[in-house]
Structure 1
Amino acid sequence: MATKRKRTPTVPNSSWVAIAADSSIDTQKHGSDPAFVRLRNPATDAASLYMLSSGDVRLFEVKAFEEDFHSWFVGQTVQRDGRLLFVTPMDPLFLIMPYLIKSGKEEKFQPVDQVVEDEEFPHCSRLLSCTRSLASLHHIAEEKEVGKQMFHRYSPEKTMNWLKKKVERTVGVLKARNVSVGGGVQSTTYIRVKSESDSHDEDYRRYAHGLISEYLSEDLSTALLQHLKLPELTSPKETEPPSKKRKLSGQPVEAEEDYTKFNSADFTRKPPKKMTAAQKSLAKVDKTGMKTMASFFSPKVKAEKK
């Protein structure tokens, strides 16, 4: 729900309007403000905007909807940045996983704080403070304890099993909400309710795979598709569940279509106009041999001389 608190996440020299749960800006336990940070996007490898809650306990994904010539009235001021940000919870393992995959090429156990390092994105180390991070590393890595220190090594097998569970949970949510995932669905923003004929399980699994793949590299997405034993489609653009392409920039992900201007009335077929009594009578007349009105105004064709 939209929060009514006055406290908002701060970004230097910037102010945004955001929709977020109250829990995302709760500062009672840790006493610090949440912060927007730029981190490496696990799917595109480029910079994307995320938010860390107070005390870096939870990670949130930030997406933006933007319109041209749009601004906000906030109190007695006008906010020129008219973007509307959506702040939603995200599993930090998706962002930690690429670093483990890179270090896994050395095939040795390493301390995770030495693995999750990035000169271009120094805030990545804060991901390890999230409550779910260290406790969930066993889902994607092998663990070894030496003394009192834990060492980790990336495990492709564990990762595939973990991602498969993510897909299965997503399928359960889609079915519970009666979401149609058949070929007629054209956008993940407009979700159609189930028709009389329910979609097959393969359609649900393929759709869920598409949603999870928004947080995976192309190679990892392909590997997951094979792990799920889903055949590759010949025309993926026409039959696969749609997914939004992220812009390769440090800005929040933007919606590429203007959904606010969609009007179903514009797409309804207009009924034919009713004919008057005179038009009906004229329609019954035998027009054989008659000339059309336009023929009296068309230029005469000159006969060619032999």
Structure 2
Amino acid sequence: MATKKKRSPSTGTDTWVVISADSAISTSKKDSRDPVIVRLKNPSTGLVSLYMFAGGDTRVFEMKAFKEDHHSWFIGQTVHRDGRLLYVTPVDPLYLVLPYLIKAEKEGKFQPVQQMVMDEDFPACTRLLNCLGEHASLAHIAEEKEVGNQKFHRYSQEKTMEWLKKKVDKTVKVLKNSNISVGGGVKSTTYIRVKKESDVSDEEYLRYAHGLISEYLSEDLSRDLLKHLQLPDVSSPKKVEPPNKKRKLSDKPVEAAEDYTQFNGRDFARKPPKKLTAVQKSLAKVDRTGMKTMSCFFSPKPKTEGK
């Protein structure tokens, strides 16, 4: 008697499906260490999120996830229940360093950066210091003093605003060159342009870019940047934030919890379509031309006037 082939058991979250930049997994002859996933403080929310260091801690990447209900992956001969698709993209380490410099600035004195970027809850934050190279220099966000052979820094609001403004301007340039629709000319539910590109104002581009950059800033810093850009505050968040369609894909970091890859998927909840019974399906095919509804036979007859 033939025996049934047993299905391979599904695994937990030991395997992920990841899309990443080449720089996230490439190694050099000087440093062949594998990338490392760590927990760091999210600069926008202050909560725990997952990040990845690569290139001997010289590059840092953020991890974001795309998730919908009832998704899984078939990998080889196994089924993986975690159907999320993770995106690993580079992030400027200065965004992650900013909260520590702002906190240390309250003391009002110059300090070594090693003394400022310390956190008992997130000990891996010290790895960020290795990422502060030429393009992520502290000179963009802090004043600098050198005493002997040691450098001391102090957070500078003025320098930070100018640095963030350059970030916004570069983002606006990319949006225009990539022909991406922004502002009120986009239907958020369908991400379809309803305005001509010439009808989109520079303010709409600035607001859209500000919304993207603000995903890496605290609420107070985002508000200060809005003032620095000389943009009036608006009450409706729809005019500031990117369309919901774009947000659905990947706008939230992977939050680290007990499963180490928790992701909030409330926005993806959907109600299943209502199924028709066999009788309802057959009635739907009947030609109802000239037929009266059942309520017509029970409605009161119109009164006739007496002669």
Please give the range of the TM-score, normalised by the shorter of the 2 chains: 0.7 to 0.9
Residue pair 2:182, 2:204 contacting (<8 A) in 1 also: yes
Partner of 2:20: 20
SS at match of 2:103: helix
Q: Deviations over 1:134-171 (max 9, x none)?
A: 95100000011111111100000000000010000001
Q: Secondary structure at the match of 2:61?
A: strand
Residue in 2 aligned with 1:286?
Answer: none
Amino acid corresponding to residue 57 of structure 2 in structure 1: D
Number of the residue aligned with 2:242? 242
From the superposition, tell whether residues 246 and 84 of structure 1 become closer, same or farther in structure 2 (CA, over 3 Å).
closer
For residues 133 and 118 of structure 1, the distance between their equivalents in structure 2, rounded to whole angstroms, comes to: 24
Specify the SS of the correspondent of 1:142: strand
1:72 aligns with 2:73: yes
Q: Which residue pairs with 2:274 in the alignment?
A: none
3-state secondary structure, aligned to 2:184 = coil
Any idea what SS the aligned residue of 1:99 has?
helix
Structure-2 separation of matches of 1:73 and 1:100: 45
**Counterpart residue number, 1:152:** 153
Contact 1:49–1:61 (8 Å) recurs in 2: yes
Cα offset, 1:128, TM superposition: 0.7
Shift of 1:66: 1.6
Deviations, residues 166-190 of structure 1 (Å, cap 9, x unaligned): 0000011011111221214244994
Gaps of 5+ in 1: 1-12, 262-277, 280-291
* CA distance in structure 2 between the aligned counterparts of 1:210 and 1:198, rounded to whole angstroms: 20
Q: TM-score, normalised by structure 2?
A: 0.76
- The 1-side partners of 2:296 and 2:79 are apart by 64
Other-structure match for 1:197: 198
Q: What is the CA–CA distance in structure 2 between the aligned matches of 1:221 and 1:35, rounded to whole Å? A: 30
Q: Which amino acid aligns with 1:23?
A: S
Q: Note if contact 2:65-2:86 (Cα within 8 Å) is conserved in structure 1.
A: yes
Counterpart residue number, 1:87: 88
- Give the whole-Å Cα distance in 2 for the aligned partners of 1:227 and 1:242: 20
Shift of 1:67: 2.2
| Counterpart code for 2:227 | Q
Task: Describe the shift of the 1:293–1:107 C-alpha distance in structure 2 as closer, same or farther (beyond 3 A).
Answer: closer
How far apart, CA to CA, are the structure 1 residues paired with 2:192 and 2:24? Answer: 26
- Quote the Cα distance in structure 1 between the aligned partners of 2:174 and 2:108: 37
Contact 1:48 1:252 in 2 (8 A): no
Match of 1:165 in 2: 166
| Residue-by-residue CA offset, 1:216-265 (whole Å, 9 max, x unaligned) | 000000000000000011x323422337575894246556544999xxxx
3-state SS in 1 of match to 2:62: strand
The one-letter amino acid paired with 2:54 is S
Q: CA RMSD in A?
A: 3.2
Counterpart position of 1:9: none
Same amino acid, percent of matched pairs: 62
Partners of 2:183 and 2:242 within 8 A in 1 = no
C-alpha contact 2:19 2:85 (8 A) present in aligned 1: yes
Distance 1:36 1:73, change over 3 A: same
| TM-score (structure 1 length as normaliser) | 0.76
Q: Secondary structure at the match of 2:198?
A: coil
Residues 186 and 259 (structure 1), Cα distance of their counterparts in 2 relative to 1, 3 Å cut? farther
**One-letter amino acid of the counterpart of residue 151, structure 1:** F
Q: Across the two proteins, how many residue pairs are aligned to each other?
A: 262
Instruction: Classify 1:294/1:74 alpha carbon distance in 2 versus 1 (closer, same or farther; 3 Å).
Output: closer
User: Against the structure 1 CA distance between its residues 255 and 20, is the aligned structure 2 distance closer, same or farther, given a 3 Å change threshold?
Assistant: farther
> Which whole-Å CA distance do the structure 2 matches of 1:210 and 1:53 have between them?
28
* Uncovered stretches (5+) of structure 2, i.e. residues with no partner: 1-12, 272-288
